[in-house]
Structure 1
Amino acid sequence: MVIKPPPTSPQCQQSGPGHTSCSPITINFRETIPNGELYFKSFKLNSKTSETGGMAIGIPGELAGYHAAYERFGGGVSWKRIFEPSIQLAKNFTVGSILASKLSTEDVQSWIKTKPEWLRTFQPQYPQLTRSGDWIQRPHYSQTLKTIAEQGIQPFYHGQIAQQLVKTINREGGKVSIRDFQTYEPVVDRAINTTYHGYNVWT
């Protein structure tokens, strides 16, 4: 994520009377793998383990990255307010054509019938396919979002959500620990830039 700080940000510096210099920053919140040597050895023996199963799941960083951005540039919007639309949407939403198409593919159908928790959510009338216009309810996801909205990211990286994620990932063949979640940190740095066909590009 590349962010151009507003002039009022602490990251900005006065470059002269009435002028403020704000250099864009990056927040890198890519997922990480907890034990590189072990994971890469597994990928070398079986490349499919990098695509499916517990070994294909890294420590998720998106939430930590967004929180880092919010802490720096959140302005007057409360953390809880940001989550409210998604909390309500997860309770009950209409399936669109893209999701319906994905759910009907052979790969998804062969996988989802082995995962009761996913089947209950995304194909509740199994074996009848979920179609565009149908309704889906995700009450557990809605509650998870509500917990994060009210308590911040602590439950996700240090609390009950982290513990459940570790349990689920390892049940599917992963090798993660609660400490891997606790030590995750996004990387904040200065953005680099170049020009491309007359455009100033930051990354």
Structure 2
Amino acid sequence: MKVEATKLDGVLLITPDRFGDSRGFFSESWNQRRMAEAGIDLDFVQDNHSLSSKVGTVRGLHYQTPPHAQAKLVRCGRGALLDVAVDIRAGSPTFGQWASAELTAENGSQLLVPEGFAHGFVTLQPDTEIIYKCTDYYAPDCDRAIAHDDPALGIDWGVDPTQRTLSDKDAAAPNLADLETVFTWEGAA
């Protein structure tokens, strides 16, 4: 397993080993013992699986507030997506900054998005399937979103804005500057 840091502290790109032959491949997408050995100690309680049929489908930027904040481990089961994490921890030196990774069924890479980060993705191929683990259950009263196209974030989604498909909820999401701060950077004094 390969674990790579991103420019955001705690957001990791994890690529499990794959063992292949003429039949295909085998890979452990999650192994709690191996992750703990790599310094990743999370207890996942929910697995989610979504399908986005159109290229340019944007989901996010989503997060849950305490007491139901979630860390997520995101991978692509079919197709390809650009996965994005945004630091929303008050006092963080990287507050409002983002990191992204292209996750595909072929590369098998996963993005670990800790609590205190908003998460979103855009599909790069038709019929893209996204599979992700969460450390807390979905709690509608704690569900929040940030505008994916907030100019202050400047996220390069790699897809023409006129070709993006969003839910009504995501299209109406507020900008980062309009959010109530609910996460605090642990390094803040």
TM-score range, shorter chain: under 0.3
Structure with a larger share of its residues in helix: 1
- Please identify which structure carries the higher strand content: 2
TM-score normalised by structure 2 residue count: 0.24
